[in-house]
Amino acid sequence: MDPLSDVLSLLRPNSYAFRGLDAGGQWSLEFGADEGIKCYALNAGECWLELEGAIEPVRFATGDFVLLPTGKAFRLYSSSDAPRIDAERFLLSFPAGEIGVLNGGGGCSGVGGYFDFEGLHAEVLLGMLPPIVHIRAEASKAALRGSIERLMGELRQPQPGSSLIAEHLAQMLLIEGLRLHLAERSHDSTGWLFALADRQMFAVIAAMHGEPGRKWTLKALAQVAGMSRSSFAVRFKDTVGEPAMDYLTRWRMMLAADRLANAGMSISVVAPTVGYDSESAFGAAFKRVVGFSPRRFARALS
Tens-place pLDDT, residues 177-195: 777 777 766 555 677 777 8
In order of 56, 127, 207, 218, the CA distances from 203 in angstroms are: 36, 23, 6, 14
Averaged pLDDT for residues 34-43: 83
Confidence of residue 231 (pLDDT cuts 50, 70, 90): very high
Residue 124 scores a pLDDT above 80? no
- Provide the domain limits for residue 213: 198-301
> Do 148 and 17 belong to one domain?
yes
Indicate if 159 and 240 belong to the same structural domain. no
Radius of gyration of the chain (CA): 21
CB of 289 closer than 8 Å to CB of 250: yes
pTM for this model (two decimals): 0.74
Indicate whether 193 belongs to any domain: no
Percentage of the chain lying above the pLDDT 90 cut: 41
Contacts of 297 (CB under 8 A, 6+ apart): 257, 260, 261, 286, 290
Residues 16 and 136 in one domain: yes
pLDDT digits (tens, 9 = 90+) for 135-173: 876 666 666 777 777 777 787 777 888 777 877 777 787
56 lies in the same domain as 8: yes
CATH number of the domain to which 125 belongs:
2.60.120.280
Instruction: Report pLDDT digits (tens) over 6-15.
Output: 877 777 666 7
* Parallel/antiparallel/unpaired status of strands 28-31 and 85-86: parallel
